[in-house]
Structure 1
Amino acid sequence: MGGPPMHNTERDARIARAVYDLAHRPADFDPLELLHDLTSQAVELLPVRSASITVLDNDRISYITASDEMTRELTEDQVELNEGPCLDSARTRKALVPTELDERWPNFAPRAHAAGITAIAAVSLRLPQMLLGALNLLMTQPPYMGTSDMELAQTLADTTGSTLAHRHELADKNILLAQLRTALDSRVTIEQAKGMLAGRFDIDMDEAFTRLRHHARSQRRKLSDLAAQIARGNVPSEFYSVR
């Protein structure tokens, strides 16, 4: 005889939808959009304040994307200071269980605490036989992520890695890193577009990015292409109908 019946919860359904969304992408999908979706799904499903992606490129650590502006700044701070738990995790190529910020990072920890962040965890973002980088998870207070939360974070990251690998002939690292370098370049254009939308519609940068991504998805356009159009001053008329 089998065990007792299993009851699916709303969270189970949300996890299933998240994995499906990360795994099923059009053939010409934008890697930057996929990685941002990974940070968004992590924030939605895990007990974390925010999330970011860092990538290892020839042992150099680069920030790729984050779930919000505050986290973008904190991740860039670590790269700039050459100090922080996200960098330590990337360099050791190991997952980082939730770790409270302390004197190990004397320059970074005060900046994180000022933003309300008290602990950070990380799981590997990997392709078959290859480490690409990390999904970094920022927390504000205990109770911090437990074992099952870390396993879910790794599942989300692994699903994303599999999607990237499938897109790039089962992970030609050089091709993928070239694509991600292009994503790094397009980040500047995206920041310009966010700034233009924020100023024109008197909204903050997070809301500007939300509108930018929503429009790109609804029109089935690449985020980088739409951002370049807006950065040139050509804001689609549909943006004016959202107030």
Structure 2
Amino acid sequence: MDVEKLAQTFVDLADSLVDDFDVFDLLSLLVERCIDLLGVSAAGLLFADGQERLQVAASSSESARLLDLYQLQHEDGPCFESYRSGQPVSAVLSQTTDRWPRFTAAATREGFLNVLALPLRSRDRVIGALNLFDAREGPLSDPTTTRVGQAIADVATVAILQERLSRQRDVLNEQLQIALSSRVTIEQAKGVLSASLTIEMEEAFALLRQHARNERRRLVDVAEEVVRSRSADLVTVYGGKPPPRHG
């Protein structure tokens, strides 16, 4: 194995893990580097979505993509074994006709003789698998291929988890911004009601909330209407008077 090429690969991968990186572009780069570094014929990468269903994320060739789709369709093959067990799965396909009958037949038709599946794992969590296919004689389970392949799978795991964390953070930031904007709108509506009806801000809020409940609408939607109209008419549900005070 070319040590310099291996080192450059991980430098390139590290450079790719920046803010706003394209996770699918990075995963495509990973499977391409599997071919260069490991000398295998094809590679494919699958990861689980939010419903824990495996999806094809990247493929080095159409043959690899079709085989990965075949595994997804039939839930049969090394990818599913590695994903479920969290362990590397290596096999010579001539010996797997009973183990994976459908997958073995499909892979053999594509000209492959050997397969190695490596888990995408973070501690005890497995989020997918990296599939390596080869048309050469002999298994792919030698220590160097397994170690380097697993290292590439680990980089893919980091990339996927980082992208998901970034997406969750964006959603959280958006939710917080919406909440803050809603709070401002509600405060503005309270001010409109307070001034229009000459009532305290607490009473204005109670009036606003009561109307939203009566109409089965979101509080912020009612508040937006009040702010736009600059009038208390929309929420005057007590005969033009504010709600009665308690106590």
1:47 aligns with 2:39: yes
CA distance in 1, matches of 2:156, 2:84: 21
CA distance in 2, matches of 1:124, 1:75: 14
**TM score, norm. by length of structure 2:** 0.60
Q: Quick one: structure 1 residues 154 and 22, their matched pair in 2 at CA, closer, same or farther if it must change by over 3 Å?
A: same
1:148 aligns with 2:141: no
CA distance in 2, matches of 1:24, 1:168: 18
Shift of 1:128: 5.5
Structure 2 segments unaligned to the other structure (5+ residues):
172-247
Question: What does residue 59 of structure 2 align with?
Answer: 66
How do residues 25-174 of structure 1 correspond to structure 2 at under 5 angstroms? 25=16, 26-57=18-49, 58-100=51-93, 101-127=96-122, 130-145=125-140, 146-167=142-163, 169=165
| 2:83 and 2:127 in contact (8 A); partners too | no
Question: What does residue 216 of structure 2 align with?
Answer: none
Partner amino acid for 2:119?
Answer: S
Shift of 1:125: 1.6
SS at match of 2:101: coil
CA distance in 2, matches of 1:157, 1:151: 10
How do residues 153-232 of structure 1 correspond to structure 2 at under 5 angstroms? 153-167=149-163, 169=165, 175=168
1:15 aligns with 2:6: yes
Q: Quick one: structure 1 residues 86 and 129, their matched pair in 2 at CA, closer, same or farther if it must change by over 3 Å?
A: closer
What is the aligned residue count?
165
CA distance in 1, matches of 2:7, 2:82: 28
Q: CA RMSD in A?
A: 2.5
Cα deviation, 1:105-132, whole Å, max 9, x if unaligned, reads: 2222111111101221111223455322
Q: Quick one: structure 1 residues 27 and 76, their matched pair in 2 at CA, closer, same or farther if it must change by over 3 Å?
A: same
CA distance in 1, matches of 2:35, 2:91: 15
SS at match of 1:28: coil
Shift of 1:72: 0.5
Partner amino acid for 1:151?
Answer: R
SS at match of 1:121: strand
Structure 1 segments unaligned to the other structure (5+ residues):
1-8, 179-243
Higher alpha-carbon Rg: 2
CA distance in 2, matches of 1:21, 1:55: 22
SS at match of 1:63: strand
**TM score, norm. by length of structure 1:** 0.61
Cα deviation, 1:137-164, whole Å, max 9, x if unaligned, reads: 0111223321111001111222333344
Partner amino acid for 1:19?
Answer: F
SS at match of 2:145: helix
Q: Quick one: structure 1 residues 163 and 62, their matched pair in 2 at CA, closer, same or farther if it must change by over 3 Å?
A: closer
| 2:87 and 2:118 in contact (8 A); partners too | yes
CA distance in 1, matches of 2:14, 2:125: 19
Q: Quick one: structure 1 residues 16 and 74, their matched pair in 2 at CA, closer, same or farther if it must change by over 3 Å?
A: same
